[in-house]
Amino acid sequence: MPVPDPVALTQALIRCRSVTPADDGALAALEAALAPLGFRCERMRFEAPGTAPIDNLYARIGTGGPHLCFAGHTDVVPPGDESRWRFPPFEGRIEEGRIWGRGACDMKSAVAAFAAAAGRFIAERGSAFGGSISLLITGDEEAEAINGTVKVLQALASRGETIDACIVGEPSSSETVGDTMKIGRRGSLTGRLTVRGAQGHVAYPHKADNPLPRLVRMLAALSPGGPEAPGPEIDGGSTHFDPSTLAVTTIDVGNPATNVIPAEGRAVFNIRFNDTWTADSLGAWLRDRFDAVGGDYTLDLRHGADSFLTAPGELTGRVAGAVERVTGRRPAFSTSGGTSDARFVKDHAPVVELGLVNATIHKTDENVPVEEIETLTRIYRAVIEDSFPERG
């Protein structure tokens, strides 16, 4: 049985120019590593109006429970100006003890590490280990995330397949592999605020209705401290979450004339919210503050994700114990950072995120130490072993 080498498989995946939504052979390279191990590999293709069709790979060995799933993605963000890279971003070069390339950190190495960990486990225990192991790999995480993990999970549920526990291989670590494990994430809500007035000449402001002072007051009203103590935090946090934060990302008027009062002004902001809020309660909070300022406005809200928490318990303890056994350190539990596909998994199974150090994600010269890929492989294998203990 050919067991995948995690570093060689990482290189093979990096050499696929899978800039979302392109695949460029990445799923085929992974399938070629998994099929000889006994995984049943299934391509799941989804599309929706206005979005690119996406191929996903669902590979499973075993039919019964417990069912441990690894979720991840092989799509990557664009490399930007490739001339600024030290080495070509899709070469997968190993230099100075590191593997360089787009996706090395986020998150082709983790996908390869889990495939290798599963291979080592199956080579030792065989395919009758008392449960199921699967990989749910999408090519639609870095963009819309519409035709990927969420639809694969829905398809599995519709045919009666259940997942008992899931690890998402996003780069969760801060300084060393395994020092941090994500047990939840904040939610995301984007607001588009339009404040309307009446256009007029600046010399006759009483004959116009300038919307911009109201726009400024509305934005200032979103800070709990008000104009005297502005800040991004909108609450005090909770047991497992930092304070929710609000960031204004753009203010637009589109008025090139210095002698014209504009008819409207627009602003866009994003809130990353903890478990003390829902999208609905945040919407009500926003409208209360905007109504207090008054005037003609509209607020469009886009709900990107809910906050969620996998409460410390059996899964978090199992993964933390595996990390400690391999590294000698117990990971800190965290809910910081942006969103990931774990936000879809949490509706189907307990989920945690554990992966490499996130120092170079989305950067020019993205890279990871080769030895850390091996460390992550050993951690994943320890999790698998603890999920399927030998029965004496």
CB 87 within 8 A of CB 100: yes
Active-site residue among 5, 31, 75, 264?
A: 75
Q: Are 61 and 388 in contact (CB under 8 A)?
A: no
Amino acid at site 182:
K
According to DSSP, the residues that pair with 189 across neighbouring strands are 271, 303
Known active-site residue 75? yes
Residue 299 neighbours by CB under 8 Å, 6+ apart: 191, 192, 193, 194, 283, 286, 287, 290
Active site residue 141: yes
The secondary structure element, H or E, covering residue 327 is: helix 314-327
CA distances from 308 to 86, 168, 185, 244, 246 (A): 39, 14, 6, 13, 18
**Beta-bridge mates of residue 55:** 45
Please name which of 172, 135, 223 lies closest in space to residue 338, comparing C-alpha atoms: 172
Distances (CA, A) of 184 to 74, 167, 178, 252, 346: 22, 12, 16, 34, 9
Residues 6+ apart with CB under 8 A from 284: none
- Going through 156-220 in order, the beta strands assigned E by DSSP cover 165-168, 180-182, 184-185, 187-196, 200-201
Is 73 known as a binding-site position?
Answer: yes
Degrees (nearest 5) of the Cα angle 27, 103, 88?
110
Q: Which residue out of 141, 264, 275, 366 is catalytically annotated?
A: 141
106 labeled binding residue = yes
The answer to whether 4 touches 124, Cβ cutoff 8 Å, is no
Determine if residue 142 is labeled as part of a ligand binding site. yes
Residue 362 in marked binding region: yes
264 assigned ligand-binding residue:
no
Q: Are 185 and 226 in contact (CB under 8 A)?
A: no
User: In degrees to the nearest 10, what's the CA dihedral of 51, 278, 73, 163?
Assistant: -110
Question: From the centroid of its chain, how far is CA 18?
Answer: 17
Question: Please, is 365 exposed, middle or buried when counting C-beta atoms within 10 Å of its C-beta (0-12, 13-18, 19+)?
Answer: middle
Bind-site residues for Zn(2+): 73, 106, 142, 170, 362
Give catalytic residue positions: 75, 141
Q: Which residues are annotated as a binding site?
A: 73, 106, 142, 170, 362
